[in-house]
Structures are given as C-alpha cells and as structure tokens.
Amino acid sequence: MAVRRLKPTTPGQRFRVANTFTEITTSTPEKSLLAPIKKSGGRNNQGRTTMRYMGGGHKRRYRIIDFKRDNHGVAGTVQTVEYDPNRTAFIALVEFEGGEKRYIIAPNGIQVGQKIEQGSGVSPEVGNSLPMIEIPLGTLIHNIEMQPGQGAKICRSAGSYAQLMAREGKYAVIKLPSGESRMVLSAGQATVGSVSNGEHSQVVLGKAGRKRWLGRRPRTRPSAMNPVDHPMGGGEGRNKGGQPRSRNLIYSQGQKTRDVNKASSKMIIERRKSKRNK
C-alpha cells in the first residue's frame, strides 16, 4: 500500500495525503456478511449527551469479521481484498470448501487466489492461523487470542504486529508494538504476518469536512471555554491554565490509568515505553 500527496488544486486538497488503495480489488461487499449499525450521536437512552464531539457521518454497514478462525482443517481461497469503513485495516473475503464465505483481517501482502488455512498442523505462512505453540520463534504475528477460543483481541489495527519471542511452559512471550512484552497462553491462535494498510498513519484528511464524514464533530479547546465549562477555561488573554486536565479534574500526565487489580497485569513482563521517560 502507498499514499500520495495531492496537488493543491483546491484549499481542501492542499495538505491532503490520500491512500492509493492499490490493494483493493472490489468496492462491492458480500451482502450475506453485512449487518446494520445504529448511531447514537453520543446520546444515552435518555437522549442526553454522554460522549461529546460525536454525530453525523456517512451511513455504514458493519462487516462481520471472523476473529475466531474456528473452521479448522478447511482450506479457503481469497476472493477479494476490500475497504472496511469501520476499521483502519483492510479486510479479505475468503471462500472455504463447501461454499462458506467469511471476512478476515487482511494480512500485509495477501493476494487474490491465495490459499489460507487455520488450525493445528498448518504451515506458518502469511494469512494462516494456528496455535502459537506451533509457530516458529521470531515470527511476526497478529490477531492474537488472549484466551484460547475467545477470538483475536491483540494487534488488529492497520500495520500492527507482534513478535513471538519465547515459550515458557504453557505460555508464549510476545513483544508488542508499544514495546510491552507479555505472556499469553500458547494454546491460543494467532495469524502469521502483519496487518495490512501499514501507511494508514500517514494519511492527512486535509479538510474539516472529511472529519465530519467520519462522524466526528468539531472539538472545542478547553482553554477557549469559560471557567464554568472546564477547569482550564477562563482568564484574561491566553492562559495556560496549569497542568492539562479533563473536565473531571483528571490530570492527563503523570497519573497511572491502568487498574492495579487487573488480572492480566501479572502476565506483563516489561511495561510499554513511556514518552515522558525519554
């Protein structure tokens, strides 16, 4: 995948960096794998705004993705690589023996006509899903299960991957893009390769309207608010307002946000790298 910088023929095109979508092979999704999406506009069941800056956006339909890859021993053929408006990664339509069709997160480098498999005993090739106990050490993986049979939870967004570093007893040690090293049960499945659309982070929308198409409304800076609306609001001229914090006086820097009693904390070997410690 690649990105391209558009010529400044209009103000909206001047700074826009767009995806070329060279990997996409069709613009028509599989009807049997679509589901409706109901929009809330950030309102709860009482009609009150509980999440600000949400609303509008283009109408979408959800693509049902197979995160479990539980049809073991059945080979499939990649039919299309498609854009999914609900996620950053591309998706691939796979038709399995017997005619069943499923969407999967498209790995980087997957091609139409490619054969993929899942389950124990399959070869560790790009797109194949198998237990981590059978994947060679040092392999790049994505769509990682935290509990066997639960479905993929880790490394599902565009360009993400983890590296299988070691195995200790019933656990496998993986290194995540954040720099965190953690243990997961090696009986859980993972897909070989990295996620497609790796240059997604380089895309620049270019104008406010494109942000609105995504369902995101304009965000007001806290320092531009009144004191009644935000702790950082008010004052004469441009005031910094002290350490950045939320409307509920939760500081944005220095505080730990992870639950100290979280059960999976004991699985973390090395914490993620902190930008403030560099």
The verdict on residue 53 lying in a domain is yes
Summarised one tens digit per residue, pLDDT across range 34-63 is: 999 999 999 999 999 999 999 999 999 999
User: What is the mean predicted confidence (pLDDT) over 7-16?
Assistant: 95
Residue 114 maps to a domain: yes
253 lies in some domain? no
pLDDT for residue 149 is more than 80: yes
Tokens representing residue 62 in the block: 């959800």
pLDDT, residue 277, reads 52
Q: How many Cβ atoms are within 10 Å of 173's Cβ, its own excluded?
A: 20
Question: Does the pLDDT value for residue 249 go beyond 80?
Answer: yes
pLDDT digits (tens, 9 = 90+) for 104-136: 999 999 999 999 999 999 999 999 999 999 999
Report yes or no on 207 lying in a domain. no
**Rounded-to-integer distance, Cα 255 and Cα 264, Å:** 20
- 261 lies in some domain: no
Q: What angle do CA 141, 4, 110 make, to 5 degrees?
A: 30
Q: What pLDDT is stored for residue 105 in this prediction?
A: 98
Q: What is the pLDDT of residue 67?
A: 97
The total of structural domains in the chain comes to 1
Mean pLDDT, residues 139-149 = 96
> Confidence class of residue 275 from pLDDT cuts 50, 70 and 90?
low
**Listed residue (123, 182, 149) closest to 67, CA to CA:** 149
Task: Please give the pLDDT value at position 267.
Answer: 92
Residue 247: inside a domain: no
Higher-pLDDT residue of 98, 95: 95
Q: Give the domain CATH number at 7.
A: 2.40.50.140
228 within a domain of the structure (yes/no)? no
Sign, CA torsion 202/207/210/211: positive
pLDDT above 90 covers what percent of the chain? 86
Residue 1's pLDDT is what? Answer: 59
Is residue 262 a part of any domain in this protein? no
Give buried/exposed letters for 101-140 (b at 16+ CB in 10 A, else e).
ebbbbbbbebeeebebbbbeebebebbbbbbbeebeeeeb
Average pLDDT score over the chain: 94
Angle at 128 between CA 105 and CA 181, to 5 degrees: 75
Owning domain of residue 75:
3-200+268-277
Q: What own/partner pairs with CB < 8 Å and gap ≥ 24 does 243-247 have?
A: 247/222
Q: pLDDT tens digits, residue range 209-236?
A: 999 999 999 999 999 999 999 999 999 9
Question: Is the per-residue pLDDT at 278 higher than 60?
Answer: no
